[in-house]
Structure 1
């Protein structure tokens, strides 16, 4: 419903959750003067959750996962956050932990009740946000509403933004380039979502339904800053994951040998105002691969694991290039893949994140760590 509620100087539109980030830190935003009893201790606490994807806003996300009855969710992080935003300023929290939880549950139930009659309430009371030139939106007001909808599975959130920001985001000339490229490729299917209103109606094979693979990865990462971290996205396809990590501040390199995929991803990078390095050779054959903190290996390894020589070179390159974390999703022989990875690389620790399903196969998503 793009453009719903348009006014003279603002517009209410649906923005993908992947493009919604928490507010900028108050000093960068020059709003520290608005914080009652501002202290450096409060600012350090505030920085933990400033300018990160709402998918990684742990206190609010876990509160609503808890209310929704999701396994493993608990409100403790939210209650601790609430206490700290007062204690770090020398202020006694106005509500007890029990009282706060009761109030937030009532608000949760009220929002559920409004939602039962449609999404009109959230268009009438939208999240407020502002465009960030790094290619996403910072929430100014409405973190609770955004996280509520996100945890109920909404992939797009009603948001009020300045009309000028809306025009910048639409980036019409770049959209035309994407559409022309897709037409030239006769592309009818995309593997991952394209985060722009022009393509909301286009079905993607993966990452459309909550919780997506990216949601699970975000939960594992927690709220820690990714600025300065290096990420290698092996088999990056049209760049969905690479662009997300760019928005999070990481230095990203994608590997994609398919010419159609990397042709489209460059157009999408321009449209979404993100950029990352792309290696167009096969991963196991490339001399351009360097060393990276984090690797993404999602539904890639099973394509070559039955070719002994290619597999040997792939595993050796993987071991050299990814130094810390490797997010992995299997083909349909998940135990065989795990065994090959652990026996032929330094990735000796493994944690399962989720059972997944995609392109007709049951899969497993997890993370490997080096000692």
Structure 2
């Protein structure tokens, strides 16, 4: 089947392009220096495309300088021995005009963004889409808070992404557990109609975490998601090339996470274990502990075992979101682990509680 169609894709599934070995021959004045620069922001989620985010956040008065974008622009030329066509002032003026044009088009439901969707190709090894063009448009829409972006893809990629043969397994899990609510989004068109309890509105918790991580590569990083629910965060880190372990002892969440992994064509090491008693864990550079720890606060024995395991397993950083008593949770984590520093990332709220999102660091 040939041809293309325009489809809405969740922002979490949009990654920057990566020039392959074969594609190098199409790059004018190709050099290895250029390729090293290219790889710094290649095959990366738009959510972490910091050079372009800095440009639009500057135009939106959310950032003092677009220096990261200017540096990116210069290096795509000078690494190939080419003088950049535009000086800083002219480049910013050009991009600012485009920004205002796109913003006007967006606010008036105009035609430009609608009839010029970015072209994407499904990355079958990673379970996401690589942008083949439209990096500026996509980043602009992301910075404007859009959670889904209309893109152009081949019919073959659409059929592969839809993965109809696995859809019935997910439906069966919903019916088996009489499930009507989801806590985090499901990144598949068949479930776009379901509003999740969390992570619907920009900036989401994932946006904030990605901002903190900056341009750090996650490929090969060991990550543990403690109480991973239906696997939304674990799958995101897995798409970025991390080696992810997700623990979810509740059967209804574990069952759905397992089937969503198959539907979304992303896999991670999903275990039905309780964290504090699991014997199958290793050491992980990054831990995720989102709205989990507060459930253990009332049982001192389990709480202390949990804290000991956190200290043993998480070596670098722990992303954490509180229940309704953030100060108590923070004190316990700092006093009973080797984490030496805490950085508050955002005030959050969800399921009727005022919460806090932050990161504990051991360095």
Please indicate the TM-score interval, normalised by the length of the shorter structure.
Answer: over 0.9
Count of residue correspondences: 362
1:66 equivalent in alignment to 2:58: yes
Q: Offset at 1:73?
A: 5.4
Q: Residue in 1 aligned with 2:28?
A: 36
Query: Secondary structure at 1:243's aligned position in 2?
Result: helix
Q: Offset at 1:288?
A: 1.2
The ranges of structure 1 where at least 4 consecutive aligned residues each deviate by more than 3 angstroms after the TM superposition are none
8 Å Cα contact 1:229-1:293 kept in structure 2: yes
Q: Deviations over 1:99-122 (max 9, x none)?
A: 111111110000011112216432
Q: 1:289 aligns with which of 274, 281, 284?
A: 281
8 Å Cα contact 2:318-2:360 kept in structure 1: yes
8 Å Cα contact 1:356-1:365 kept in structure 2: yes
Query: Secondary structure at 2:132's aligned position in 1?
Result: strand
Bigger shift: residues 285-294 or 104-113? 285-294
Q: Residue in 2 aligned with 1:11?
A: 5
Q: Offset at 1:19?
A: 0.4
Q: Residue in 2 aligned with 1:262?
A: 254
Q: Residue in 1 aligned with 2:353?
A: 361
Q: Residue in 1 aligned with 2:109?
A: 118
Query: Secondary structure at 1:278's aligned position in 2?
Result: strand
Q: Residue in 2 aligned with 1:20?
A: 14
Instruction: Give unmatched runs, 5+ long, in structure 2.
Output: none
Q: Deviations over 1:80-100 (max 9, x none)?
A: 111111111111111111111
Q: 2:201 aligns with which of 206, 209, 220?
A: 209
Q: Residue in 1 aligned with 2:224?
A: 232
* Separation (CA, whole Å) in 2 of partners of 1:47 and 1:281: 37
* Separation (CA, whole Å) in 2 of partners of 1:8 and 1:273: 22
Q: 1:311 aligns with which of 295, 298, 303?
A: 303
8 Å Cα contact 1:42-1:85 kept in structure 2: yes
* Separation (CA, whole Å) in 2 of partners of 1:67 and 1:285: 50
Q: Residue in 2 aligned with 1:178?
A: 170
8 Å Cα contact 2:2-2:154 kept in structure 1: no
Q: Residue in 2 aligned with 1:153?
A: 145
Q: 1:76 aligns with which of 67, 86, 99?
A: 67
* Separation (CA, whole Å) in 1 of partners of 2:286 and 2:262: 24
8 Å Cα contact 2:2-2:156 kept in structure 1: no
Q: 2:100 aligns with which of 105, 109, 115?
A: 109
* Separation (CA, whole Å) in 2 of partners of 1:282 and 1:315: 13
Instruction: Give unmatched runs, 5+ long, in structure 1.
Output: 1-6
Query: Secondary structure at 1:141's aligned position in 2?
Result: coil
Q: Residue in 2 aligned with 1:88?
A: 79
8 Å Cα contact 1:291-1:320 kept in structure 2: yes
Q: Offset at 1:36?
A: 1.3
Aligned CA-pair RMSD: 1.3
Q: Offset at 1:363?
A: 1.1
Q: Deviations over 1:197-254 (max 9, x none)?
A: 1111101001110000100111111122211110000000000000001100000000
* Separation (CA, whole Å) in 2 of partners of 1:119 and 1:151: 18
* Separation (CA, whole Å) in 2 of partners of 1:11 and 1:119: 20
TM-score (norm. length: structure 1): 0.95
